[in-house]
Chains A and B, each alone.
Chain A
Amino acid sequence: MSTAVAGTNYLNYPKGLKSWLFTLDHKRIGMLYFFSILFFFLVGGIFALLIRLELMTPGFTIMGPDTYNKVFTYHGTVMVFMVIIPMIPAAMGNFILPMMLGAKDVAFPRLNLASYYVYLFGAMVALATLFFKGVDTGWTFYAPYSTRTGSAAGMMVMAAFIMGFSSIFTGINFIATIHKLRAPGQTWTRLPLFLWALYATSVIQVLATPVLALTLVLLALERVFGIGIFDPALGGDPVLFQHFFWFYSHPAVYIMILPAMGVISEVITVFSRKNIFGYKAMAVATFGIALVAFIVWGHHMFVSGQSHTANFVFSFLTMFVAIPTGVKVFSWVATLYKGSISFYAPMLYALAFLFVFTIGGLTGVVLATLATDVHLTDTYYVVAHFHYVMVGGTLMAFMAAVHYWFPKFFGRMYAEAPARVSWFLIFLGFNVTFLPQFIAGSRGMPRRYYDYVPEFTWLNQLSTIGSWLIALGFVIAAVYLAYALFKGPKAPANPWNSRTLEWESESPPPVENFSHDPVVRHGPYDYHWEAK
C-alpha cells in the first residue's frame, strides 16, 4: 500500500489507469463495482422498458414472442445476478465496511480484487450469450426447459456459476474483516447495523452460493453429457432442480434485502438525530431473517407437485420471516419518535423504502399462505410482490446509500432540489408501475405472458406509463449526480453530522482511510455524545 502524501486522496493518488485496474484499495474496488453495476443497471433497465413497451397492447407491439422471452430473461438475469445481489454489499459495502470499522482495508485485499474480476468476467460471459442467439429460459433456468433449449443457456448458467464465486469471495472477506480489523473501542454492541447486515449477508453468501454452483454444475453435466439428473426423459426429476435452485435463490432474496435494511438503519438515525430504536432487537432480527432464509425455499413450489406435507411445513416456516421483518419496520418507525427529522434525499429514499417495502413484505404473507398462493403464484401478483421487495426495497435503499455516501465517495455535494424531483418521479412511477400488477395478478394474468386477454389491457398500459416515470426519474438522477461528480461544491468531512467512523475521515478519504488512528468512544448513533 502506498504511503499518504499531503493533499492526496484515494481518487487522485496514485494516478493512471493501471493503478485503478490493479488496485488493492477497497475504496477503489468499491468504485469499480459501483460503476460496473450502474452500467449493468442501465442494461437491465433498458430490457425492463422494452418489456413494458411490448405489453402496452395485447399481441405484437414491437417484438415477437421469442424476442420477448429473451428480453424478460435478460432483464431478470442482469438485474438479479449483476445488479441487485452485488449492488449494496459489493459496491457500498466494499467502500464503507472497512471505514466504519476504522480499518485500513479489508482482511484480504487481493481476494477482494479477484472477486471484482470474477464478477466482471461472469457478467461478460452472461452478456456474450446475446451473440449466441440469446437465452430464453427466464432467470430461474427451470428444467427440463433449460436442459433442452439452445446452447446459449449453458453459457448463461456458466456465467451465474462464475459470478457466484465473486459473491463467496466478498462474503469471506467481510466476515474476516469484521472479526479481525475493528478499531479500538469498536465493540460488537457498537457495530453499526449496516455492518451487522453485511455480516448476516456474508454468512448467507458463503453457505448458500455453493449450492447454486453445484446445481449449475449438475445442469451443465446433464446438458453436455446427457447424465439424467433433472430431465425426466433421461430418468431425472425436474422438481429436484427447483429444490436445488430455490435452496440458493431464496436465501439470495435475503442477500438482496438485508444490506438494504442496514442502509435504512443508518440513514433513518442520522436524519432523525435519534439513536436506533431497539439496537439489539434489530441485530437479532437481522440474523433471525438470515437463519429462516435457509429453511423456507419450498414456498416457491406450492403447486410444483411437491407433497402436501412439504407444503404444510414450508408455509408454516415461512410465516416466521414476517416476525423479525415486522420488528424491523416497527423499530424504524419508532426511531422517528421525538426525533429532529430533516428530509434530504437519503431520508426521502429511506421513507419511500418503508412505504414500499412494507407493501412488499405484507403481500409476501399473502403468498406464504397456502390456499391464497395457489391462485396467485406464477401470476403478476408475484411479479408485483418481488418488485416491491427488490426494487422498492433494495433499489430505494441503494439510492438512499448513493446520496448519503456520495460526499464521502467523491468529496462533492449533489444538488438537493433535482434530487427531490427525481425521488418523487421514481417513487410515484414505481407505484404506478407495480400496483396495477397486483390487480392484474389477482384477476388471473399469468406472468411471462407475451400476449394477454383484453381485460388486462388498461392495467398493463398504466404499468407501462409508470415505467416511463421511473426512467425519467433515473435520467434526472444520472444528470445531477454526474454534474455533482465534476462540478459539485466541495463536501466537508461530515456533511450529515453522522457518528459512524467513515465520517471522521476527510471527503474523499486518503489512501489509508484515516490520517489518524481512529478510536471508538460512543455508540454508532449517539448524536448527543458531545453533550454528555
Chain B
Amino acid sequence: MNGRLADTLPLAASDLATRWDDLYIWLFYVLLVFFFIAIGPMVYFAIKYRAKPGVKSSPAHDHNTPLEILWTAIPTAIVFAIFAWGWIVYKDMVTAPADSIEVRVIAKRWGWTFQYDDGRIFQNQLFVPKDKNVKLIMTSQMDDVLHSFFVPTLRIKQDLVPGMYTYIWFNVKMAGQHQVFCAEYCGTGHSGMLAKLVVLEPEEWQLWKWGKEVPLPPSVGVGSLAELGFKDEQLKNSRTASLSSEVLSDMPLPKLTLADQGRKLMESRGCMSCHSDNGSRLLGPSLHGLFGHETFLSNGRTTLADENYIRRSIEIPQADIVGGYEGVTMPPYAGQLSETEMNALIAYIKSLN
C-alpha cells in the first residue's frame, strides 16, 4: 500500500525529499482515518436509518457533550502535531547549510539564467555536483513578472520576485537531469519555461569546473519522457527567442571570475572613490567585512547586510543610511545595472570578507 501511495509522488532525489514523503504519507493515512471516521458512519446511518413505514425518527439524540468535547479536542491535538512536523521539515528545507555552493538565478519570460562564481553563465541548464549542498540566490528581472523555481524530484519550490532576492537550497543524491518547472503563472510561455537541473558525478563535476565537455546524464523522474518536453511550436519559439545563447554542456572559463567582474565594474563606475575595500573610511562606508554582518543604521536600527540589503543600498541609497554617514548623498543606481552586473557587484562585496 505504501508503495502504491508513493507512486502518486515523483521520484525522491534528496534526503529532504524522502523526509517530505515520510511526512506526506503519514499525513495521508491520518487524514484517511479521519475521512472514514466521518464518512463511514454517514454511509452506515444512511442505510440503517433509511425511512421505513411505521418507524419514526428519534426525538432525542440531538446533543452529547462528552462526544462533542472529544471530537473537538482530538482533532485539535492532531492538527497541531501535523503543524509541528510540517514546521520541522520546512525549517530544514529553507535553511541552507553554510558550506553551500552558490549559484545565482535570474528568471525572465520565458527562460532561466544561471550565473556561477567562476563567471560563466548558462541558460536553462543548472549544473550542480551530486551530494553537495547548493544554494540558489534567485531573482526575476526587474521589468519582468513573478516566476517560481520548482523541482518535483526535490519537493522544492520558491517564487522569484523582481527587485528582491529569494533563496532555496538542495543536496541531490541522484545524478541525472531533473526537471525544473516554472510554477508561477507568467503568460504565454509559462508552461514552456523549463530548465534541467543537471546533477553530475564528482569526476564529471571536476571536468565541468575546468570548462571541459561532459556527457549529459540521462533524465530522471518527472519530465524524463520528453527530452525537451514540449510539442507546441509556439511555446518552443517563445522559449528560444527569449534566450541569447545556445544550450551548451561545456563552456570555456571566462578570464574573470564573478567577483573580479564586480571589482572591475566598481572601478569603472567610480564606486571605489567613496567606498574602500580595506576598512579605511572614505566618504562612504567601507565594503570590507560588510557582507553577512549586522550593520548599524542612522535611524538606530540594525540590519543584516545580505543580498537584499546591498541591492537596496545601491539602488536607493537614501533608504537606509549607515550610522555615522548622515548627510552623505550617494546617487541612486536604480535601473542602471543589469541583473548580472548586480550579481557581480554583490559577489565582489561578498569576497571582501
Assess whether A337 is in contact with B49, with CB atoms less than 8 Å apart: yes
Residue of B nearest to A147 (CB): B145
Residues on A with beta carbons closer than 8 Å to the beta carbon of B10: 443-444
Assess whether A303 is in contact with B8, with CB atoms less than 8 Å apart: no
Assess whether A145 is in contact with B187, with CB atoms less than 8 Å apart: yes
Q: A142-B146, A145-B186 are in contact. Are A336 and B232 (CB under 8 A)?
A: no
Tell me, rounded to whole Å, the shortest Cβ–Cβ distance linking B281 to chain A. Answer: 30
Tell me, rounded to whole Å, the shortest Cβ–Cβ distance linking B89 to chain A. Answer: 4
Assess whether B46 is in contact with A327, with CB atoms less than 8 Å apart: no
Residues on B with beta carbons closer than 8 Å to the beta carbon of A279: 62-63
Residues on B with beta carbons closer than 8 Å to the beta carbon of A65: 188-192, 232, 234-235, 238
Residues on A with beta carbons closer than 8 Å to the beta carbon of B55: 340
B66-91 vs A, Cβ < 8 Å mask (1 yes, 0 no): 01100110011001101101111111
A19 beta carbon closer than 8 Å to chain B? no
Q: A144-B145, A339-B45, A527-B57 are in contact. Are A69 and B161 (CB under 8 A)?
A: no
Assess whether A303 is in contact with B158, with CB atoms less than 8 Å apart: yes
CA distance A442 to B64 in the complex (A): 39
Q: A341-B45, A358-B35 are in contact. Are A278 and B222 (CB under 8 A)?
A: no
CA distance A527 to B57 in the complex (A): 9
CA distance A281 to B70 in the complex (A): 13
Residues on A with beta carbons closer than 8 Å to the beta carbon of B186: 145
Residues on B with beta carbons closer than 8 Å to the beta carbon of A351: 42, 46
Q: Which of A41-49, A363-371, A411-419 contacts B (4 or more CB under 8 A)?
A: A363-371
CA distance A319 to B84 in the complex (A): 11
Residue of A nearest to B167 (CB): A305
Residues on B with beta carbons closer than 8 Å to the beta carbon of A278: 62-64, 68
Q: A323-B75, A330-B38 are in contact. Are A336 and B49 (CB under 8 A)?
A: yes
Assess whether A451 is in contact with B68, with CB atoms less than 8 Å apart: no
Which residues from 195 to 247 on chain A have a C-beta closer than 8 Å to any C-beta of chain B? 232-233, 235, 237-239
CA distance A66 to B64 in the complex (A): 56
Residues on A with beta carbons closer than 8 Å to the beta carbon of B187: 69, 136, 145, 149
Q: A138-B185, A323-B76, A374-B156 are in contact. Are A274 and B161 (CB under 8 A)?
A: no
CA distance A442 to B6 in the complex (A): 10
B117-141 vs A, Cβ < 8 Å mask (1 yes, 0 no): 0000000000000000000000000
B229 beta carbon closer than 8 Å to chain A? yes
Residues on B with beta carbons closer than 8 Å to the beta carbon of A374: 90, 93, 155-157
Assess whether A443 is in contact with B83, with CB atoms less than 8 Å apart: no
Tell me, rounded to whole Å, the shortest Cβ–Cβ distance linking B47 to chain A. Answer: 9
A312 beta carbon closer than 8 Å to chain B? yes
Which residues from 8 to 58 on chain A have a C-beta closer than 8 Å to any C-beta of chain B? 58
Residues on B with beta carbons closer than 8 Å to the beta carbon of A329: 38
CA distance A144 to B160 in the complex (A): 12
Assess whether A233 is in contact with B162, with CB atoms less than 8 Å apart: yes
A338 beta carbon closer than 8 Å to chain B? yes
Interface centre among A149, A238, A371, A374, by most chain B C-beta atoms within 10 angstroms, is: A371
Which residues from 311 to 340 on chain A have a C-beta closer than 8 Å to any C-beta of chain B? 311-312, 315-316, 319, 322-323, 326-327, 329-340
Assess whether A66 is in contact with B71, with CB atoms less than 8 Å apart: no
Assess whether A340 is in contact with B49, with CB atoms less than 8 Å apart: yes
CA distance A373 to B158 in the complex (A): 11
Q: A142-B146, A323-B72 are in contact. Are A338 and B58 (CB under 8 A)?
A: yes
A355 beta carbon closer than 8 Å to chain B? yes
Assess whether A304 is in contact with B27, with CB atoms less than 8 Å apart: no
Contact among A274, A312, A316, A340 for B61, CB-based, below 8 A: A274
A342-367 vs B, Cβ < 8 Å mask (1 yes, 0 no): 11000000010011001100110110
Contact among A66, A362, A372, A451 for B191, CB-based, below 8 A: A451
CA distance A454 to B231 in the complex (A): 10
Tell me, rounded to whole Å, the shortest Cβ–Cβ distance linking B13 to chain A. Answer: 12
Q: A311-B90, A336-B45 are in contact. Are A319 and B79 (CB under 8 A)?
A: yes
Residues on B with beta carbons closer than 8 Å to the beta carbon of A60: 231-234
Residue of A nearest to B150 (CB): A446
Residue of B nearest to A378 (CB): B183
A505 beta carbon closer than 8 Å to chain B? no
Assess whether A442 is in contact with B49, with CB atoms less than 8 Å apart: no
Assess whether A369 is in contact with B27, with CB atoms less than 8 Å apart: yes
A276 beta carbon closer than 8 Å to chain B? yes
Assess whether A371 is in contact with B20, with CB atoms less than 8 Å apart: yes
B41 beta carbon closer than 8 Å to chain A? yes
Residues on B with beta carbons closer than 8 Å to the beta carbon of A341: 45-46, 49-51
B1-38 vs A, Cβ < 8 Å mask (1 yes, 0 no): 00000001110000000001001100110010011001
Residues on B with beta carbons closer than 8 Å to the beta carbon of A446: 150, 181-183, 191
B111 beta carbon closer than 8 Å to chain A? no
A460-485 vs B, Cβ < 8 Å mask (1 yes, 0 no): 00000000000000000000000000
A385 beta carbon closer than 8 Å to chain B? no
Q: A323-B75, A342-B50, A375-B157 are in contact. Are A369 and B86 (CB under 8 A)?
A: yes
CA distance A358 to B31 in the complex (A): 10
Interface centre among B49, B67, B88, B235, by most chain A C-beta atoms within 10 angstroms, is: B49
Which residues from 209 to 227 on chain B have a C-beta closer than 8 Å to any C-beta of chain A? 222-223, 225-226
A64 beta carbon closer than 8 Å to chain B? yes
Which residues from 59 to 81 on chain A have a C-beta closer than 8 Å to any C-beta of chain B? 59-60, 64-66, 69
Which residues from 252 to 280 on chain A have a C-beta closer than 8 Å to any C-beta of chain B? 272-279
Contact among B63, B71, B159 for A330, CB-based, below 8 A: B71
Interface centre among B67, B82, B89, by most chain A C-beta atoms within 10 angstroms, is: B82
Interface centre among A341, A351, A372, by most chain B C-beta atoms within 10 angstroms, is: A372
Residues on A with beta carbons closer than 8 Å to the beta carbon of B161: 232, 238-239, 304-305
Assess whether B39 is in contact with A355, with CB atoms less than 8 Å apart: yes
B300 beta carbon closer than 8 Å to chain A? no
Residues on B with beta carbons closer than 8 Å to the beta carbon of A64: 232, 234
Q: A327-B71, A333-B45, A453-B223 are in contact. Are A371 and B76 (CB under 8 A)?
A: no
CA distance A443 to B8 in the complex (A): 6
A398 beta carbon closer than 8 Å to chain B? no
A110 beta carbon closer than 8 Å to chain B? no
B141-158 vs A, Cβ < 8 Å mask (1 yes, 0 no): 011011010101101111
Q: A338-B61, A444-B222 are in contact. Are A58 and B230 (CB under 8 A)?
A: yes
Tell me, rounded to whole Å, the shortest Cβ–Cβ distance linking A20 to chain B. Answer: 40
Interface centre among A59, A303, A315, A375, by most chain B C-beta atoms within 10 angstroms, is: A375
B94 beta carbon closer than 8 Å to chain A? yes
14 examples of A-B residue contacts, CB within 8 angstroms:
A65-B235, A69-B188, A142-B185, A144-B162, A145-B185, A273-B51, A326-B71, A336-B46, A339-B58, A343-B50, A370-B89, A373-B86, A439-B8, A455-B222
Considering the complex of A and B, which 5 residue pairs feature the smallest CB-CB distances, nearest first?
A444-B152, A232-B163, A369-B86, A59-B231, A371-B89
Identify the B interface with A (CB < 8 A). Answer: 8-10, 20, 23-24, 27-28, 31, 34-35, 38-39, 41-42, 45-46, 49-52, 55-59, 61-64, 67-68, 71-72, 75-76, 79-80, 82-83, 85-91, 93-94, 142-143, 145-146, 148, 150, 152-153, 155-159, 161-164, 166, 179, 181-192, 222-223, 225-226, 229-235, 238, 316, 334-335
Given A64-B234, A444-B179, A454-B225, 8 additional A-B pairs, CB 8 A? A65-B234, A333-B42, A358-B38, A375-B155, A378-B150, A444-B222, A448-B190, A455-B225
